[in-house]
Amino acid sequence: MTVISDHRVSDHRMIEPQIRPHAGQGLWAALKPYLGTPLNAIITISCIALVILALQALVSWLFVNALYEGTPQDCKATRGIGICWPFFAAKLRFMTFGFYPYEQHWRPGIAMAIFLSTGFITMIPRFWGRWLIWLWAAAVIAMTILMWGGIFGLVRVPVHTWGGLPLSFMLSFVGLVCAFPLGIVLALGRMSNMPAIKIICVMFIELIRGVPLISILFMASVMLPLFMPEGMTIDKLLRAQIAIIFFAAAYIAETVRGGLQAIPKGQFEAAGAMGLHYWQMMRLIILPQALKIVIPPLVTTFIGFFQDTTLVTIIGLFDFLDTVRGAIRDPAWQGIAVLEAYLFAAFIYLVFSWGMGAYSRFLERRLRVGHD
């Protein structure tokens, strides 16, 4: 450095080029986030210990101490020590399809395969187009015929025997398809400048969001029959489905409203200046933008709502969680494979929910447009 008393403000000489301190190279740089400070080292070591312990327990439960063949009594002996595979051999089909006639299980099986593959095709952006609507229409018809039967030589299967995973999918899918338009209408109604319509929509949305889903389901199962005219009965499944649709619509409405509020006022004004009337404006200008914004929160709502269909088990419908519990309650297996059954159910829900979440994150990246 130069001496300050000298009148020069800065030094003429250039500083020699130097290596950046702690350059990001080598083993130490890679290890630094893990072992950089004493605290970090402690955290790393305890995390590794935790992971090893968990993996050890998992491996010994899943493989080492697992029971591959045997009777329920054998499983009782290894309860809590190793997984009981005979339970799955005996009960997997019941857990998946519920009380659907045993020799007809291929029908809900195929229906589920159609559902999942159609869903998978819909998720791939290169297939997006108008034809997907026709694909879904065909899929729904095929699934209905398969489940219901009565034509093409298929045995008619009464609705009260439907159950298991197909029922859970059905409750969520039908709920979603019906609740989505209703939710959009409610959101538009809430944003409307007609006071009466606004108040009706706000009351509906807040009423439903203010109470637990279970109370709406109770209402549908216990109270709704009293509201029906004499002699008219609605199937229990349909009642639960209606409750789910109303519940989902209220939540979807609030999510969509968030998107509508994010659209700049200029968009509404420009659409009005172009001479579009209300529905044209909404359909062509506002909703496409608003819905795109709310895709991530909407998928979160959908996931929550797929999980919430489990609540129908409380009012006595045979959804997937209920058939899993039914398998546990079977006298031969009572209290033997409880953890196995619940963890299996958790795994199935985890896979589907996590899959939807991962897809939403992918979609979010893909749909991100330049200007925001």
| Chain positions contacting another protein, by CB under 8 A | 33-34, 36, 40, 43-44, 47-48, 50-51, 79-80, 194-197, 200, 206-207, 209-215, 218-219, 222-223, 225-230, 303, 307-308, 310-311, 313-314, 321, 325, 335, 338-339, 342-343, 345-346, 349-350, 353-354, 357
User: What Cα–Cα distance (Å) separates residue 358 from each residue in 256, 367, 368, 369?
Assistant: 21, 14, 16, 19
CA-CA distance, 103 to 149, in Å (whole number)?
14
Task: Name the H helices within the chain.
Answer: 26-35, 38-59, 72-77, 85-97, 106-123, 131-148, 165-191, 195-209, 213-218, 224-227, 236-262, 265-273, 278-280, 287-293, 295-308, 320-329, 338-367
> 85 or 349: whose CB is closer to another protein?
349
- Taken in order 142, 146, 148, 149, is the CA torsion positive or negative? positive
CB of 214 to another protein, least distance (A): 5
Residue 222: DSSP 8-state: I
Shortest spacing between CB 230 and another protein, in angstroms: 7
Residue placing its CB nearer to another protein in the complex, 198 or 292: 198
- Which residue's CB is nearer to another protein, number 218 or number 268? 218
Output 109 or 297, the one with its CB closest to another protein.
297
Q: Which is nearer to another protein, 25 or 215 (CB)?
A: 215
Work out how close the CB of 296 gets to another protein at its nearest, in angstroms, rounded to a whole number: 12
Exposure string (b/e) for 166-194, b if CB count within 10 Å is 16 or more? bbbbbbbbebbebbbebbbebbbbbbeee
Could you tell me which residues are beta bridge partners of residue 67?
84
Task: Give least dist CB 237 to another protein, A.
Answer: 18
The angle, 0 to 180 degrees and rounded to 10, between the axes of the packed helices 131-148 and 106-123 is 170
| ∠ Cα 201 194 291 (to 5°) | 60
Q: Among residues 257, 264, 255, 302, which one has the least CA distance to residue 285?
A: 264
160 or 361, CB closer to another protein?
Answer: 361
Q: Which is nearer to another protein, 22 or 130 (CB)?
A: 22
Start-to-end Cα distance in the chain = 48
* Least spacing, CB of residue 212 vs another protein, in Å: 4
Least distance (Å) from another protein to the CB of residue 108?
21
For another protein, which is the closer residue by CB, 298 or 345?
Answer: 345
Query: From the CB of 169, what's the least distance to another protein, in Å?
Result: 14
State in angstroms the smallest separation of the CB of 3 from another protein: 29
In sequence order, the β-bridge partners of residue 84 are 67
For helices 320-329 and 165-191, angle between their N-to-C axes, nearest 10 degrees: 150
Write out the DSSP string of 77-93. HTTTTS-BHHHHHHHHH
Q: How far is the CB of 357 from another protein (least distance, A)?
A: 7
Q: What residue type is assigned to position 368 of the chain?
A: R
Work out how close the CB of 193 gets to another protein at its nearest, in angstroms, rounded to a whole number.
8
